[in-house]
Each structure stands twice: as structure tokens, then as C-alpha cells.
Structure 1
């Protein structure tokens, strides 16, 4: 479980998160929505210690993140908005292996994790390919595989559909659906709710750094409309 309690974060004199308290349970598929600048990315980067709150606390499975950064980063995998920001190697397999190697695992265990992670995102047998020669959707899937190789309980994806064409978008959605069904907790940060609502158990919306909506997908349209956020016409919700 990821839990935040009275979380406050400021950039200079600007309060980006204002006493945010929430719980995300194991195996939940959560959509974190909100306009640009609402605090979404700042919030999720606290889940595994990439940012530290000015006030309040973040815990993962009951342990404060600041007390066990390595543990938090093993439990909470992060995929950044631009996959290129997290690649550390030139080839697919080498990049996906980076995290497990830094855990000090033996070679057989590293190879198992890399193989299973690539299988999970539909990149089986492509470990020797150069990342810079992949499409945007394929790079997104490699970034997801890199996070999965750490075998996290929760996978956080920050705007994973930005810049993807429709086939690539659908491919990533299919992989997220399969991961959710396998029991991995998923948090998708997005300002565009098309399609992803069909996968979600819960929708949380931030407005000006505060939780304005926390509800189920079936109730979300009315709740979001009440705070002036509309689901795009392209949504598959019925």
C-alpha cells in the first residue's frame, strides 16, 4: 500500500501539493487526473523518494519512504513521461537489466527478470535491438519493462500516452490491462482520460494541489463535470 498523509510540497513560494492524504491499495488500478500544473507528477514522484515532501509523510507498506529509499524504489516502479529520460543503455536488454544488476542479483536471476519483463510488454526476443531505432510506442514498452524487472508491487506511469499514435497507444493500453489483471498495482497519471477509464478501479483528480475527486469510473463523469473537468469525446466509456 502507498499512503500519503497531509503531504505538502512547495517550489519556492508556490505550494504545489496542499495537505494531500490518500491510500492506494495493492493491486488497484488508479487513474490520477488533473490539468497541467495540478500537482500530479510532483505527487507521484514522492511515492518512491524522487522528491521529498516539505511537510507530511509518504509510506510504502507502512514504512516511511525516507527511511528506506531502496525498498520504496523496489516496491514502486516509475515510468517517466519521456522514456528517454530513464534509459541508461543503448540496447533493450542491457537497459532492462540495469535495475536488477544494481540490486546485486546473480546473472541467472537477472536474465530471468529481463526475459519475463520483455515478455510482459510484448518485446520477447528483442533484447539486442538498439533503443534509438525503436518507435515511440516500443520505447514506452521498454521503459515499462525496465520498471517491471524490479518486480514492483506498484507501477506508476506519468503521461504514458503522450506523443504516441493510436496503434502505439492501444498497444500500451493492452499491456497495462494485462499487468493489472496479473495483480500489479497500476497508477496512470494523465490529463486525457480516453480509454484508460475502462481499465481503472478508481479515479483521483487533483485541482490546485488538492484531491478534488476520489471516486469510481462509473461516477467519475458527473464528479469531474462538477469541478469543470470533462472527459474527451473520444472516450470509450458508455
Structure 2
């Protein structure tokens, strides 16, 4: 479980998160929505210690993130808005292997994790391809594979559909459905709910750094009418 307890975060004098409390159970498909600048990305970057709160704390699987960053970053996989921000190697296989290598795992275990992660995103056998020659949808899937190779309990994706064409979006969504069916918790950060509204167990909306909506999508749909988010017709 990811537990956010009274978290406040400031950038200089600007308050990005204002006393946010939120619990995300294992296996839940959560959509975190809101306008640009609402605090969505700032919030999820606290889940694995990329940011530290000015007040409050985040606890993952019973351990405070600040006390064990390795555990948090193993339990919470993060896929950034632009997957190129997370690539650290030239080839697909080397990039996916980077995280497990830093855990100090045996080579055989690393290779097995890479193979399993690439199979999960439909990229088996493409370990030697250069990342910079992949399409946008393929890069997104490589980024997901890199997170999956860490065997996270939760996978967080920040605006994963930005810039993807329809076939690429459908491919990524299919992989997320598979992960959810396998018990991995999924958190999708977006302002466009059309692809994920009917998939989500729960929808949380941030506005000005505060939680303004929290509940099953069908139950909170009416509350979205005046908010800057896109809902399906």
C-alpha cells in the first residue's frame, strides 16, 4: 500500500501540495487527474522519493519512503511523461537491465527479469535494438519494461498517452490491462480520462494541490462537470 499522510510540498513560496492524504491499496487501478499545475506529478514523485515533502510523510508497504529509498524505488516503478527522460542505455536490453543491475542481482536473475519484462510489453527478442530508433509507442513500452524489471508492487505512469497515435495507445492500454489482471497496482496520471475512465477502480482529482474528488468513476462523474479534465462521451 502507498499511504500519503498530510503531505505538503512547496516550490519556493508556491504551494504545490497542500496537506494531501491518500491511500492506494495493492492491486488498485487508480487514475490521478487534474489540470496542468494541479500537483499530480509532484504528488507521485513523492511515492518513490524523487521529491521529499516539506510536511507529512509517504509510507510504502509499511516503510517511510525517506528512511529507505531503495525499498521505495523497488516497490514503486515510475514511467515519466517523456520516456526518454528515463533511458540510461543505448539498447533496449541494456536499458531494461539497468535497474536490476543496481540491485546487485546475479546475472542470471537480471537476464530473466529483462526477458520477462520485454515479453510483458510485447518486445521479446528486441534486446539489441537501439532505443533512439524506436517509435513513440515502443519507447513507452521500453520504459514500462524497465519499471517492471524491478518487480514493483505499483506502476506509476505520468501522462503515458501524450504524443502516441491510436495503435500505440491501444498497445499500452492492453499492457496495463494485463498488469492489472496479474495483480500489479497501476496509477495513471492524466488530465484526459477518455482512455482510462472505464478501466479505473478509483478516480482522484487534484486542484490547486488539494484532493477535490475521490471515488469510483461512475459515482463521481457528475462532480467532474466543472473541472478541467476530459471525460468520455
TM-score, normalising length from structure 2?
A: 0.98
- 8 Å contact 2:191–2:228 — kept in the other structure? no
How many angstroms does 1:223 deviate by?
1.8
d(CA) in 1 for partners of 2:58 and 2:51?
A: 11
The 3-state SS of whatever aligns with 1:17 is: strand
The 3-state SS of whatever aligns with 1:111 is: helix
How many angstroms does 1:230 deviate by?
4.7
Aligned residue for 1:49?
49
Aligned residue for 1:74?
74
Aligned residue for 2:128?
128
How many angstroms does 1:197 deviate by?
1.3
- How many positions carry a matched residue from both structures? 233
> 1:162-201 to 2 correspondence within 5 Å?
162-201=162-201
The 3-state SS of whatever aligns with 2:73 is: helix
How many angstroms does 1:229 deviate by?
3.7
- 8 Å contact 1:39–1:209 — kept in the other structure? yes
Gaps of at least 5 residues in structure 1 are none
> 1:95-110 to 2 correspondence within 5 Å?
95-110=95-110
How many angstroms does 1:62 deviate by?
1.5
d(CA) in 2 for partners of 1:183 and 1:230?
A: 28
1:112 aligns with 2:106: no
Aligned residue for 2:204?
204
Task: Encode CA deviations 1:19-46: one digit per residue, 9 max, x unaligned.
Answer: 0000000000000000000000000000
How many angstroms does 1:158 deviate by?
0.4
The 3-state SS of whatever aligns with 1:197 is: coil
CA RMSD of aligned residues (A): 1.0
- 8 Å contact 1:155–1:187 — kept in the other structure? yes
d(CA) in 2 for partners of 1:14 and 1:32?
A: 21
Aligned residue for 1:231?
230
d(CA) in 2 for partners of 1:170 and 1:215?
A: 25
Task: Encode CA deviations 1:80-122: one digit per residue, 9 max, x unaligned.
Answer: 0000000000100000000001100001100110000000001
- 8 Å contact 2:39–2:209 — kept in the other structure? yes
Aligned residue for 1:150?
150
Aligned residue for 1:23?
23
d(CA) in 1 for partners of 2:200 and 2:89?
A: 33
d(CA) in 2 for partners of 1:125 and 1:21?
A: 43
- 8 Å contact 1:221–1:230 — kept in the other structure? no
TM-score, normalising length from structure 1?
A: 0.96
The 3-state SS of whatever aligns with 1:100 is: helix
Task: Encode CA deviations 1:112-146: one digit per residue, 9 max, x unaligned.
Answer: 10000000001111111111110000000000000
- 8 Å contact 2:6–2:19 — kept in the other structure? yes
The 3-state SS of whatever aligns with 2:220 is: helix
- 8 Å contact 1:15–1:209 — kept in the other structure? yes
